[in-house]
């Protein structure tokens, strides 16, 4: 079945360092990969996404890379700030646009 | 604010009861999705509607049902509630089945 694995489950960095979160998907037909940031008790917010015809996409301090052959995609956050602390979810689009989410990565950025 | 609204924000009920959660999509969005997020868990896809028709089902229990009305708002009905149904229930919407999904603020359901 459709599955998305996400690593690591927790990540602790110092302010200013970079953070990388990696995901692997199983459905080779997936062609859309969004990343959501969720603060405690709040809704998931779309922060960046990438489609399968693109290998990399960048938005200020956030970038996402996609390796379709290996079925891997990653989120890169540079110059991390305390307000980046949250749970980050990757997802892969399954049939009919349903999103299959990874288990989440709890990122803590320490001042 | 994503433009997706959900009511109520919180719901506390007892085992065996039935509740209805409501979602209004962003203006212009035809597709609505329901997700369940249990404590410290990821987001589990439940069901999707597009312009009033069911399009996809995930791991939705038989005790749960949903529908999308002509005005495009959607309701998720949960019956014979169990303690394990306590969770955050999110609704998301998108323009069509190809576009990004935007999430509502969620309904926190507590079953006592």
How confident is the model over B46-91, as pLDDT tens digits? 999 999 999 989 889 999 999 999 999 999 999 999 999 999 999 9
Q: What are phi and psi of A26, to 5 degrees?
A: -105, -30
- How distant, in Å, are the alpha carbons of A72, A79, B3, B5 from that of B71? 39, 45, 16, 14
Mean pLDDT, range A50-78, rounded to an integer:
94
- CB spacing of B42 vs A46 below 8 angstroms: no
- CB spacing of A101 vs B43 below 8 angstroms: yes
CB atoms within 10 A of CB B70: 7
B53/chain A closest Cα distance in angstroms: 12
Mean pLDDT, range A74-102, rounded to an integer:
92
């Amino acid at each position: 079945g459709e599955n998305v694995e996400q690593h690591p489950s927790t990540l602790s960095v110092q302010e200013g360092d970079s953070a990388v979160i990696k995901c692997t998907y199983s459905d080779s037909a997936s062609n859309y990969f969004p990343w959501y940031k969720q603060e405690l008790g709040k809704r998931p917010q779309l922060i960046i996404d990438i489609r399968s015809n693109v290998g990399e996409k960048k938005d200020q301090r956030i970038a996402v890379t996609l390796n379709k052959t290996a079925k891997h995609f990653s989120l890169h956050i540079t110059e991390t700030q305390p307000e980046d602390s949250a749970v980050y979810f990757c997802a892969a689009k399954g049939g009919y646009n349903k999103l299959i989410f990874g288990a989440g990565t709890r990122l803590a950025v320490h001042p | 604010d994503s433009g997706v609204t959900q009511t109520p924000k919180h719901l506390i009920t007892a085992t065996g009861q039935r509740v209805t959660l409501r979602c209004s999509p962003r203006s212009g969005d035809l597709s609505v999705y329901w997700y369940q997020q249990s404590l410290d868990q990821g987001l589990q896809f439940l069901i999707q509607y597009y312009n009033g028709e069911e399009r996809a089902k995930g791991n939705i229990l038989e005790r749960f049902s949903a529908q999308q009305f002509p005005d495009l708002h959607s309701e998720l009905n949960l019956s014979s509630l169990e303690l394990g149904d306590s969770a955050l229930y999110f609704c998301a919407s998108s323009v069509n089945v190809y576009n990004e999904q935007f999430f509502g603020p969620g309904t926190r359901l507590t079953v006592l």
